[in-house]
Structure 1
């Protein structure tokens, strides 16, 4: 890449000509690239990793219960802000527009459920918990239109935008938009690690502090389990923790998720990208790393202001190579969980699995639309009739990948309260009132359509044709 000072100078003068972004975005971008050029991808010293102690990583059931009287709860909640990351598109599931407006259950979207939950709290306790949405340039316009439907709600809803950075052409390290690619594909949002900087830049942080807010709860908008938890909030305020990461026990489905470690006496997150190649299989084992990061984070607002203004949040840089019409480009990103080590008095809390219910694919969709859950005041509550604490594992073939196709193939979502695992492959269609139990595998032979009739009960069976039903 030649001399990195030269590279940076060239880049700086190229970026100066980009009129589509603000001065703050330009300097943020240059800052990120110069850190990357001087450090490269950082890796961790494996032998220094330790398992966090119970003081650093608290079991959820050891938390003191929050006060029970309504006045005390109102006081707690009036210190809180909820921030949902709303920059993602629903493209993986074949949808256009923000992922948060996909209908998840009973006609409600992710965003509807988030609004219903906070409305419920504000009404019940007479408090004022505002909702902030961090949009990206991909989701901002659509989100603004959608928010009109909540105009009469009892919540203050604020939006601000994630930064917009130019993709870097790998060959000469110059911005893609400088080469005539000025459309959307010339740009990228730099991961959710810049949520802190954007909170400050947008003026939202000062606004919240002036309203007496103290803590922000940040989560992905597609995690249906990420609801306001009074016990966690109470603990942080009582113990003056500047940050808390929610982790939960790891299953085989979560082996790639980041984990929480103790490193040089402080807790920090360890992501798979930071692990030296020879230790990746150890990182994925459930024996050594028993927990993983749910991406639910609680942070003190004053601490965010102090660290952003002191330019102290230097999260690990995640290089994300992409290709745009045959041109190799690089996106440099950061993750907000990686900021944990910069805050004082940081803790992790090992929360129940119910606080991690993300909808990343249609197999998750099947879980949350089924009788495993019910909806109460916007909260997705697990069915007590399910004995097994973990959810069934579900593998659906490519025919079910897009939400539209998925919905067409089920006349109604099957009952799965007693299901252990389901594997579906080929051209399979489900009638209504189907009940699945135990281990079920359904395979349509190539070129054949397999219909599961209305009202079928399939219990611990392998089905390869109509004769097996």
Structure 2
């Protein structure tokens, strides 16, 4: 192997690592080896910088007594936004400043999928990515604009995504893809990069969290190309020159662990549960004191990203994520995009309606979206007005329903849940077509017993534990 050549900046960062780690010669050699594995210069610098910050003990400590509830000038009520321009030409001018960027680096592993999560079917044969494309196509067609779609892939999703986007070649939308960084996992015992121990396959590497979107976006192309940069929010940000906006929404008991916005030493800042002292965790979870949480819908000025990345000013909190690979305990160091809010000028939050936040992280969420609780129009999944209860039903599915393939095989059609309050399913339960669930429903199949819910059955406020209960 040829001798690695260090730039002055890399040499300085290696030196920082040396002073922070006990096993100095071993670590230095490990990171010299790593320089041969990394393809891009920014990945070398970015990874070494992240490790150096972590090992040096750099951390921001929150003083609980300094936390203040943001005012309406900092977290703006959605209803107080000025209406979007009524003139279509003015709206087009606004939309010409917009780029839509979707994080596409995640695999749907928690739901038993092996490819990009964005290609999971949502409803009517359409995937998440299909819906995104339809939404932007409709916008472009309505206003004669050209809002592009950027997809940030990871090394896990890049190849599959490149094949998938080919089907949109004739669509009324520009689609651009780029990869986020690829960092080596670090062995917990001595912090050597895992590839240096012989694991050079995919398991030796990881994408370093969605906070990596800022340097990755800066490197992939000139940001000024995309500085053509809904309507109400965009109008507000343009008029008030807000460099960063986080959409937040009212917290429910299901969201108590979600990050929230606070005012801290004169700036708006994201507070995550990991930053909260143990004695204040219950207070953090209170929906009375902390009424909002981060939806991860972010609006960011591209010129500001360029300025801050070039100044190396985005020092987001480091999130250690422990894993195990082939019996070896490793650590992934990650950052989150929401934590960048404190570095941007005139940053704000906007308290949006819950309807703008519809996450699908598990098959229980997928059941809601695929049901008659929502309708589909121009790619947008919209709450069915026939639902009287403003809250969604509580859905709890057993392990038999966890993987998407198994989930789909257990429903001939998705039941009607317009009048459902709560549903708990466990065991080998299979649904026929046209089933209706109302009120509180609990269905549990005993071990070795298959429960088949007949076509057209209506189950209301009922507990089913065996065939005799059907």
TM-score interval, normalised by the smaller of the two chains:
over 0.9
Deviation at 1:281, TM superposition (A): 2.1
**Corresponding residue of 1:423:** 424
Task: Tell me, in whole angstroms, the C-alpha distance in 1 between the residues paired with 2:82 and 2:321.
Answer: 42
Task: Tell me, in whole angstroms, the C-alpha distance in 2 between the residues paired with 1:357 and 1:281.
Answer: 26
Task: Tell me, in whole angstroms, the C-alpha distance in 2 between the residues paired with 1:33 and 1:398.
Answer: 37
Alpha carbons 1:163, 1:198 under 8 Å: kept: yes
Count of paired positions: 452
Change in Cα spacing, 1:274 to 1:60, as seen in structure 2 (3 Å) is: same
Alpha carbons 1:428, 1:444 under 8 Å: kept: yes
**Paired residue for 1:139, among 157, 161, 165?**
157
**Corresponding residue of 1:235:** 236
**Corresponding residue of 1:364:** 365
Task: Tell me, in whole angstroms, the C-alpha distance in 1 between the residues paired with 2:234 and 2:51.
Answer: 36
Q: Which runs of 5+ in 1 are unaligned?
A: 215-228
Task: Tell me, in whole angstroms, the C-alpha distance in 2 between the residues paired with 1:194 and 1:270.
Answer: 19
Task: Tell me, in whole angstroms, the C-alpha distance in 2 between the residues paired with 1:202 and 1:8.
Answer: 34
**Corresponding residue of 2:462:** 461
Q: Higher mean Cα deviation, 453-462 or 128-137? A: 453-462
**Corresponding residue of 2:31:** 15
Correspondences of 1:64-463 after superposition (within 5 Å): 64-209=82-227, 213-214=228-229, 229-463=230-464
Task: Tell me, in whole angstroms, the C-alpha distance in 1 between the residues paired with 2:152 and 2:26.
Answer: 31
- Deviations 1:294-353 (CA, angstroms, capped at 9, x unpaired): 000001111111111111100000011111112111111000000000011111111001
SS of equivalent residue, structure 1 residue 44:
coil
Aligned-residue Cα RMSD (Å) equals 1.5
Tell whether 2:43 aligns with 1:25: yes
Deviation at 1:154, TM superposition (A): 1.4
SS of equivalent residue, structure 1 residue 414:
coil
SS of equivalent residue, structure 2 residue 161:
helix
Task: Tell me, in whole angstroms, the C-alpha distance in 2 between the residues paired with 1:8 and 1:418.
Answer: 64
SS of equivalent residue, structure 2 residue 323:
strand
Task: Tell me, in whole angstroms, the C-alpha distance in 2 between the residues paired with 1:389 and 1:423.
Answer: 20
Task: Tell me, in whole angstroms, the C-alpha distance in 1 between the residues paired with 2:248 and 2:127.
Answer: 25
Deviation at 1:7, TM superposition (A): 5.5
Task: Tell me, in whole angstroms, the C-alpha distance in 1 between the residues paired with 2:60 and 2:192.
Answer: 22
Task: Tell me, in whole angstroms, the C-alpha distance in 1 between the residues paired with 2:322 and 2:395.
Answer: 30
SS of equivalent residue, structure 1 residue 371:
coil
Deviation at 1:355, TM superposition (A): 0.9
Deviation at 1:9, TM superposition (A): 7.2
Tell whether 2:20 aligns with 1:4: yes
Q: Which has the higher contact order (CA 8 A, sep 6+)?
A: 1
Deviation at 1:10, TM superposition (A): 5.1
Runs of at least 4 residues of structure 1 off by over 3 A? 5-13, 40-43
Deviation at 1:416, TM superposition (A): 0.4
Deviation at 1:155, TM superposition (A): 1.0
**Corresponding residue of 1:54:** 72
Task: Tell me, in whole angstroms, the C-alpha distance in 2 between the residues paired with 1:464 and 1:447.
Answer: 13
Change in Cα spacing, 1:5 to 1:396, as seen in structure 2 (3 Å) is: closer
- Deviations 1:354-373 (CA, angstroms, capped at 9, x unpaired): 11101111101110110011
Change in Cα spacing, 1:424 to 1:133, as seen in structure 2 (3 Å) is: same
Task: Tell me, in whole angstroms, the C-alpha distance in 2 between the residues paired with 1:89 and 1:286.
Answer: 31
Alpha carbons 2:18, 2:24 under 8 Å: kept: no
Q: Which runs of 5+ in 2 are unaligned?
A: 1-16
Alpha carbons 2:150, 2:177 under 8 Å: kept: yes
SS of equivalent residue, structure 1 residue 322:
strand
Task: Tell me, in whole angstroms, the C-alpha distance in 2 between the residues paired with 1:65 and 1:304.
Answer: 27
Task: Tell me, in whole angstroms, the C-alpha distance in 2 between the residues paired with 1:397 and 1:172.
Answer: 39
SS of equivalent residue, structure 1 residue 331:
strand
